[in-house]
Structure 1
Amino acid sequence: MRIGRLRACGGIALALLGLAGAPARANDSAAELDAGGLVLVKDPAVALLSEDLRLGLDRIAVDYVFRNTGEAPRRLRVAFPLPSVDGAALSSSPLSLPFEDRANFVGFTVTVDGAAIRPALEERAYLGAREVTDLLRRHGLPLNPLRRADLEKAVKALSPEARRRLAAEGPLPAEDGPEWGQWRLEAKFHWEQTFPPGRDVAVSHAYVPVKGTYLLDAKEASRREYRTRYCLDEAGLGGIRRLIGQGKESGGVVSSAVVPYIVTTARNWAGRIGRFTLTVDKGRPDTLVSFCRSGVTKTGPTTFRWEARDYVPDEDLRVLFVSRDPEALGIK
C-alpha cells in the first residue's frame, strides 16, 4: 500500500458480540490527556525512516529508526512532551494519573540502540500566561496539580500567611476545597542525541496513556459529531446498540474509553516518514474498537494494523474502546 497525505474518510468499527456482564457501577466522565511522540528541531539531514506505533488501553510503545543523510554528525535535542495538566479544568474531575505520586506520571521510558537512557525532565507551572513555577516551589507545592495527595499535604503545611498570599496571587482558592490547584503544568523529557552520518539510530519509548472514560448511551453514539470524531460507521453504531440492548440492567449505557495519540509531532523530522505502522490492541476479543484510518487489517483476535509509506501525518489519532465490562477497559 502506498499512501501519501491521508484524511479521515471512513475508518474501522468492529463490534464483537457474546459479551457477558454489565458495568458494575456508574462513573463520571473523565477527559483524556493528549500525548504523542518525540519532537526535535527540524534538521534537513535527519530523516525518519520508520515509525512503528503500538497502541493499547494500558500502554503505548513507539519504535523509530532515524538516519543522518548528511556527511557530518548531527547533535540535536530530542524531547517528549508530557500531556498538559490544567488544574483549573481537572481538579474536580475523576481523572486519575497512572502514577500520581511521581513527576513522571505516565511512566515514560526510552532506549537508544537498545540501551536505556535517563532524560532530563523540565517542569513549568503557569497561571494563565503567567509562570508560577518558582512561587509554587518556594512554598513546597507540587507543580502537577493532579498530584492530589502531595498537594493536600503541602497545603496543610502552609502557614496562614503563606496560604493568604497564595490565595491573593491566584494559585489557591480562598477556601479549602477540591479545586486547590488552579495552575497548569507543562512538562517534557529531553536529551541531546548524536546522529552519526550514514548510520541508522533506533530510538524506542513507551508510556501509559491517560485515557478518558465515560458511560456511553445510544443517543450520544448516534450524534454526527461523535460518529465523525471516531469514524464510527453503521456496523459500529449497531454494535454499540446491541451491547446496550444485551445489558438491560445497565440502564441503557455501556462503558467506553478513549486513548489519544498526537501523530502530527512527526512533522518535526526532515521530509516524510518512510514507513509508518500503527497497531491497535483492544485487549479482549469482546471489546469494540473504532478509529479513523482506512485500509485497516485485522491481524489477530485483538489486534489491527494500518501501514502507510512516504507518510505525512495530517491529523492526530483517537481510539474509542467500548465494552459492557468496565474492567476490560481498565475502569475500576
Structure 2
Amino acid sequence: MVARSRTAALLLAAALLCAPARANDSASELDAGGLVLRPEPGIVLASEDLSISLARIDVAYVFRNQVDEPRTVRIAFPLPPIDGRLLSFSALKLPQPERANFVDFTVTVDGRPVEPELEERAFVGEREVTDLLRRHSLPLNPLRFTELEAAQKRIDKPTWAELLKAGLFPDAEGMTEGLWRSEAKFHWLQTFPAGKEVRIAHSYAPVSGYHPLATREPPDKAYRAAYCLDDATLNGLRRLGAKLSDPLSLGYVGAYVVPYIVTTARNWAAPIGRFTLTVDKGSPEALVSFCRSGVRKIGPTTFRWEARDYVPDQDLRVLFVPPPGRGPRRFR
C-alpha cells in the first residue's frame, strides 16, 4: 500500500449488455458512502470512525455545533443508483434485493434508532418514470427480476407494448430486463443543539464487485496502481494460486471490491478532526489492499489508517481476495 490513490473502478459488466441472457462472468461494485447534507458552516465533523469488511460497513460520527444557536438540517444517505441498462446482465447481487432498503441501512442518533424517510425515483435517461412504474405495480428497482417476470405474465399485450415504447423494457421476445435507473435516498431532519456534540452511527451491507484475478502472472500496471498492490500482496496472490485444487480455475481466484465515498465529508464546516479507517479482511489467509500510506496491522485480519484534520481528496476502493472457495456467494 502506497500513498498514490486512484478511484478507477472495474466496470466489466458493461461489456455484457448485448448478451442474449444474463451472464455470470463479472459484476460492478456500486458506490456508497457516508452522510451528506447541504454545506453547513456551523457544524463540524469532530471525528469519524469507519470500518469496512466484505459483509458490512459501519460508520460512527461525532458532530459538533460551533454556533450559539441550534441548527436543524436535513441529513441524507443516498443509496447507490441501480441502472438496469448497465446491470441487468451482470453478476451483481444486492444484499437485500427484495427490499427498497436493499443495503439494510440502519442509523442511530446518540444511541437511539432513527426511522428515516425513504425517497425513491426512477428514470429512463433524464425522463422520470416513477409514476408510470407505480401505476402498473412495477418495482422501482430494476434488479427485482422475479417481480418483473411476474409482471410480464399479468400485464396485457397492449399495455406491455406501451411500456416497450416508453423504453422500460427491451423490444425482444421474452426479455423482461428493466432498462430504467433507480435513485433512492434515506433522509431525516436532525437538530444540533448549540455548543453540543451529537453522535450519529450508521451501518449497511456494501454492494461489492466481483472479478476473476489471475495468480500465475502479476496484474497489469493500471490494476496495481488502482489498488496500490505492493510486492508482499503480489507474493500472497501467488501463494493463493498455489493452493488452487480445481483445474477448471485456470489459475484464477475471486477478487471483490468494496467502494466507499469519503469526499462527501467536505460539505461540513471544517476538516474531519480525527479520522480512523479499520479494514477487516475476514480471514488470516485472505489478501486486502487499498491506497493509503501509513497503514498499520492491528490484528490477524485487521488494518488501521488514521489521520488528523483530514480533508478527503480521494474516495476509497478496498480490494479483498479471500482464499479459494471462501468468498461470499455473488450470483443469482
Q: Which residue of 1 aligns with 2:15?
A: none
Q: Does the aligned pair in 1 maintain the 2:243–2:324 contact within 8 Å?
A: no
Q: Which SS does the other structure have where 2:326 is aligned?
A: helix
- Mind listing any 5+ residue stretches in structure 2 that lack a counterpart? 7-22
Aligned with 1:327: secondary structure? coil
SS in 2 for 1:136: helix
The equivalent of 1:9 in structure 2 is: 4
Letter in 2 for 1:303: T
- Between the aligned partners of 1:206 and 1:177, the Cα distance in structure 2 is 38
CA contact (8 A) 2:148 2:176 kept: no
Q: State the Cα RMSD in Å.
A: 1.9
Identify the residue that residue 263 of structure 1 maps to in structure 2.
262
Whether 1:93 and 2:80 are equivalent positions in the alignment is no
Q: TM-score, normalised by structure 2?
A: 0.90
Residue in structure 1 matching 2:126, options 118, 126, 129: 129
CA distance in 1, matches of 2:239, 2:41: 51
| CA positional deviation for 1:156 | 2.1
Residues 5 and 225, structure 2, Cα contact 8 Å, conserved in 1 = no
CA drift of 1:92 comes to: 1.2
Distance 1:221 1:192 in 2: 49
Name the residue aligned to 1:290: 289
Return the alpha-carbon distance in structure 2 between the equivalents of residues 117 and 40 of structure 1: 17
Q: Which residue of 1 aligns with 2:201?
A: 204
Q: Are positions 1:213 and 2:215 aligned together? A: no
The one-letter amino acid paired with 1:34 is D
- For 1:266, the aligned partner's letter is A
- The equivalent of 1:322 in structure 2 is 321
| Partner Cα distance (2:330, 2:156) in 1 | 38
- Residues 185, 8 of structure 1: CA spacing in aligned structure 2 closer, same or farther, 3 A cutoff? farther
Distance in 1 of aligned mates of 2:181 and 2:5: 36
Deviations 1:276-309 (A, max 9, x none): 0000001111101111011011111111010000
**Residue aligning to 1:166:** 163
Q: Is it true that 1:38 corresponds to 2:22 in the alignment?
A: no
Moved more, 46-55 or 150-159: 150-159
Q: Does 1:232 align with 2:221?
A: no
* Other-structure match for 2:303: 304
Q: Residues 109-132 of structure 1: CA distance to partner in whole angstroms, max 9, x if unpaired? A: 000000001000001111011111
Contact 2:5 2:226 in 1 (8 A): no
Q: What are the equivalent positions in structure 2 for 1:109-148 lying under 5 Å apart?
A: 109-148=106-145
Q: Secondary structure at the match of 1:326?
A: coil
Greater relative contact order, per chain length (Cα 8 Å cut-off, separation 6+): 1
Aligned length: 312
2:151 counterpart of 1:154: yes
| Matches of 1:295 and 1:137, distance apart in 2 | 50
Q: 1:136 to 1:8 in 2, by over 3 A?
A: farther
Tell me if structure 2 keeps the 8 A contact 1:284–1:328: no
Q: Counterpart of 1:126 in 2: which secondary structure? A: strand
Partner of 2:13: none
User: Would the alpha carbon gap of residues 63 and 256 (structure 1) be closer, same or farther in structure 2, given more than 3 Å must change?
Assistant: same
